Amino acid sequence: MRIVDLRSDTITRPTPAMRRAMAEARVGDDVFGEDPTVKQLEEMAAERLDKEAALFVASGTMGNLVSLLVHCHRGDEFILGDQSHTFFYEQGGSAGLGGIHPRTVPNQPDGTLALHNIEAAIRPDDIHFPRTRLIALENTHTRCDGSPLDVNYMRAVGEIARRYEVKVHVDGARLFNAAIALGMEARDLVAEADSVSFCLSKGLGAPVGSVVCGTRDFITEARRARKMLGGGMRQVGILAAGGIVALTEMLDRLAGDHANARKLAEGLADIDGLSIDPERVKTNIVYLKVTRSGTVSELLTEKLSSEGVRLLPTGPNQLRAVTNYHVTSDDIDYALGVFRRVLSSI
């Protein structure tokens, strides 16, 4: 059966070039700082984002938590969106493992935090309050239609952070999707950030890993935090090699994922029983509402899956589709045909 897997861009498998690079990677003990391939990846990532240094970590969740542990002490507070990945999907690690208090403010539909809400959430110096240490942003924003945060917004947040002497961290899991969508360099989007994490294992197609970037002093402390979390890996150049290929060969092709997502959204908008605004689709994430009475997302997901089209239910009447490099324009046509058949039969 033909399979069109749109559950996530995390389902991608390494390219042949990645497999060759991983098989041939020069390795050493990275905890001792002796893995040359990891060093190469870290130097490449830092240069690409115009930061002083970088650290290879096992996952985006680890990258965000490591960053929080460096920026904040126990009892400190950080500001983040109420729809953010860190708040929703990272198991409360900031509080559970770091003793760091999350202060949520509402995400706007475009993934931003309203500037006045950020400023209002920053605590005054008072013995009764935790200290505000950090503003955490997400670019692109997973739960807000994969929306990219533009450079003007990032500069405005940076100005607030400097005025109140707090730091800025960017969860840039899909940062390069944002850069492609906005037609600019990723480094410009994180120029105001004191730290940034990005994933190699989503649209870039590497099998494992994320990278955290920041100042040399920040990365020194992040390396200690990574070790404390059990993230000190040994001959990990085998994985880093896939990341190097991702950064050298997989960036420009993200535009194709965006085009396929828009094509999917436009096709779904014409199908009775579904509700979607294609104008909200800026990158590779598509959310759609099931509007037909009595049809819930789990039922529709099962019916679609039985014909090889896999989506992720994200609410009683909501589904998510994420395009990736395994999904072609022809696959989008096939998926739309399956949607039409399934919805006409239930």
Phi, psi angle pair for 141, to nearest 5°: -100, 115
Burial 71-89 (b: 16+ CB within 10 A, else e): bbeeebbbbbbebbbbbee
**pLDDT at residue 174, rounded to an integer:** 98
User: Which of the residue ranges 111-125, 248-262, 291-305, 311-325 would you say has the lowest mean pLDDT?
Assistant: 291-305
Q: Which CATH superfamily is domain 253-345 in?
A: Aspartate Aminotransferase, domain 1 (3.90.1150.10)
- Tokens for 303, please give them: 């019916």
**pLDDT at residue 235, rounded to an integer:** 97
Answer whether residue 93 shows pLDDT above 80. Answer: yes
Q: pLDDT digit string (tens) for 40-75?
A: 999 999 999 999 999 999 999 999 999 999 999 999
Answer whether residue 345 shows pLDDT above 90. Answer: no
Phi, psi angle pair for 309, to nearest 5°: -105, 115
Answer whether residue 295 shows pLDDT above 80. Answer: no
Phi, psi angle pair for 142, to nearest 5°: -60, -50
State in words which class domain 12-249 has.
alpha beta
Q: pLDDT digit string (tens) for 196-228?
A: 999 999 999 999 999 999 999 999 999 999 999
Angstrom distance (rounded) from CA 224 to CA 64: 14
Q: pLDDT digit string (tens) for 116-151?
A: 999 999 999 999 999 999 999 999 999 999 999 999
**pLDDT at residue 37, rounded to an integer:** 98
**Cross-strand partners of 168:** 135
Answer whether residue 312 shows pLDDT above 80. Answer: yes
Percent of the chain with pLDDT over 70: 100
Assess contact for 94 and 100: CB atoms under 8 A: yes
Answer whether residue 294 shows pLDDT above 90. Answer: no
SS3 labels along the chain? CCCEECCCHHHCCCCHHHHHHHHCCCCCCHHHCCCHHHHHHHHHHHHHCCCCEEEEECCHHHHHHHHHHHHCCCCCEEEEECCCHHHHHCCCHHHHHHCCEEEEECECCCCCECHHHHHHHCCCCCCCCCCEEEEEEECCECCCCCECCCHHHHHHHHHHHHHHCCEEEEECCCHHHHHHHHCCCHHHHCCCCCEEEEECCCCCCCCCCEEEEECHHHHHHHHHHHHHCCCCCCCCHHHHHHHHHHHHHCCCCHHHHHHHHHHHHHHHHCCCCEECCHHHCCCCEEEEEECCCCCCHHHHHHHHHCCCEECEEEECCEEEEECCCCCCHHHHHHHHHHHHHHHHHC
Mean pLDDT rounded to a whole number for the chain? 97
Cα–chain center distance at 40: 23
**pLDDT at residue 293, rounded to an integer:** 76
**pLDDT at residue 106, rounded to an integer:** 98
**pLDDT at residue 273, rounded to an integer:** 92
- Tokens for 329, please give them: 């324009």
Angstrom distance (rounded) from CA 15 to CA 23: 12
Domain ranges of the chain: 12-249, 253-345
